[in-house]
Amino acid sequence: MEANQPVVVAARRTPVGTAGRSLARLDVTGLAAPVLAALVEDVTALGLRGPEGSVAVDDVVLGNCCGPGGDVARVAALAAGLGTGVPGVTVDRQCGSGLEAVRLGAQAVAAGEGTLVLAGGVESASTMPWRLARPAGPTQPPRAYTRAPFAPPGFADPEMGAAADALAAATGVDRPRQDAYAVRSHDRALAARARGVFDAETVPVGGVAADERPRRVDARVLARLRPAFTAGGTATAGNSCGINDGAAAVALVPEAARAAAGVPGLRVLAAAVVGVDPALPGIGPVPAVRAVLARAGRRLDEVAVLEVTEAFAGQVLACTDALGLDPFGADAERVCPDGGAIALGHPWGASGALLVVRLFARLVRDPAARAGDLGIATCAVGGGQGIAVLVERVG
């Protein structure tokens, strides 16, 4: 095992709130800074100190999609009290931004450019700015818009809900399966919360200590909901994610530092980013997972846990079907085993990092986890991309 191989040794997140509700008073800095500060405390407690006896953060990498602009990571690092000497960079790969930040942080550690990198993501849908396009002419008013294009003219550029409907229709994922998957997500999140799975990872912020969204859901009630995005579609408010606020991040160190401290972690074995048809962006995890496994010389049947952003139940099921996985049966403990974004929420820029936090809970904090267990985090990305990161329990 190479000394510079990147390893996740700590993973933290805020509670996830519904936009306009429990975390609405906090902007991206208010969400991200407490998570970064908690990670430094965790690393200090693990004994991962530098040669001077203190914890020195080499860089902060955060994903963010719809924030205020500027360098959110640097602002959050300063607000977290990390010191003026700690830089930060903010990245945007849409819904894969948080996982992209982890990928970039791991690359920096592997290249020997840092011995402690904090990487993750943050989103505050509650405080995202209004956007106005410049007037097209001197007599025309500014034009409001909600997002930048996912693709240029000449390519399909659907909203993600409409794209999820199209993918479900193209792959034969019917409405009852989607509603059943939504129930599964909420039931598993509630069960995980009852077991205390989320306690060690959650950083209370703004007086909020628990996720707002998970609840008891009845499939019969879900069946009565109308399509939310397209006429005759199958994605509804009940089997889709919410619009949410939250932050998540991990601490990455070289394997040599982890081994010296004698603590467990998640070694980053490989990462992959792929492009797919912008008309069906939700299928992106399928080629991304295949690519990352091929890169590492591993097989899907070796993977203990697959965490995929549950933006829409139909999209997740289309991907698991294509990969040959059954989240209702044989693979129930492998696919999002503690619930996902349908139950917990989907704070866009943070969601990819939230997946790594989920892997850390299953493969490191869980007493049943074993050295050598593999996990994959993967996201679909608007505009037609997929991203995946493969990790292995060490220590």
> Both tokens of residue 250?
């991990």
Catalytic residue selected from 65, 66, 319, 346: 346
Alpha carbon distance 76, 82 (integer Å): 9
**Intrachain domains 6-128+245-261 and 160-196+265-394 with the same fold:** yes
Work out whether the CA dihedral 154, 155, 159, 161 comes out positive or negative.
Answer: positive
> What's phi and psi for 388, nearest 5 deg?
-145, 145
DSSP state of 365: I
| Homologous superfamily of domain range 6-128+245-261 | Thiolase/Chalcone synthase (3.40.47.10)
In the chain, domain spans: 6-128+245-261, 160-196+265-394
Closest CA to 189 of 378, 317, 1, 16: 16
> Both tokens of residue 261?
């401290």
192 CB-near residues (< 8 Å, 6+ apart): 198, 338, 339
- 3-state SS, residue 269: strand
For the chain, the 3-state helix, strand and coil shares in percent, each to the nearest 5, are 35, 20, 45
Angle between helix axes 313-323 and 160-171 (nearest 10 degrees) is: 40
Alpha carbon distance 148, 94 (integer Å): 10
- 3-state SS, residue 233: coil
Residue 95 annotated to the active site: yes
The per-residue pLDDT for range 90-127, each reduced to its tens digit, is 999 999 999 999 999 999 999 999 999 999 999 999 99
Q: Please tell me whether the overall predicted TM-score, pTM, comes out greater than 0.95 for this model.
A: yes
Mean pLDDT value of segment 65-70: 94
Alpha carbon distance 9, 6 (integer Å): 9
Residue type, 321: D
Mean pLDDT value of segment 52-71: 90
Q: Please answer whether residues 213 and 85 qualify as being in contact, where contact means their C-beta atoms are separated by less than 8 angstroms.
A: no
**pLDDT band with cut points at 50, 70 and 90 for residue 49:** low
The per-residue pLDDT for range 232-278, each reduced to its tens digit, is 999 999 999 999 999 999 999 999 999 999 999 999 999 999 999 99
Residue linked to tokens 């059943």: 180
Alpha helices in the chain (DSSP H): 28-45, 72-79, 97-110, 160-171, 175-194, 219-222, 255-261, 285-296, 313-323, 341-344, 348-360
**pLDDT band with cut points at 50, 70 and 90 for residue 54:** low
228 DSSP β-pair partners: none
By percentage, how much of the chain surpasses pLDDT 70?
98
Domain made up of 160-196+265-394: CATH architecture: 3-Layer(aba) Sandwich (3.40)
Burial of 54 (0-12, 13-18, 19+ CB in 10 A): exposed
Residue 66 annotated to the active site: no
Closest CA to 203 of 80, 371, 51, 330: 80
Catalytic residue selected from 95, 241, 336, 379: 95
Alpha carbon distance 22, 258 (integer Å): 37
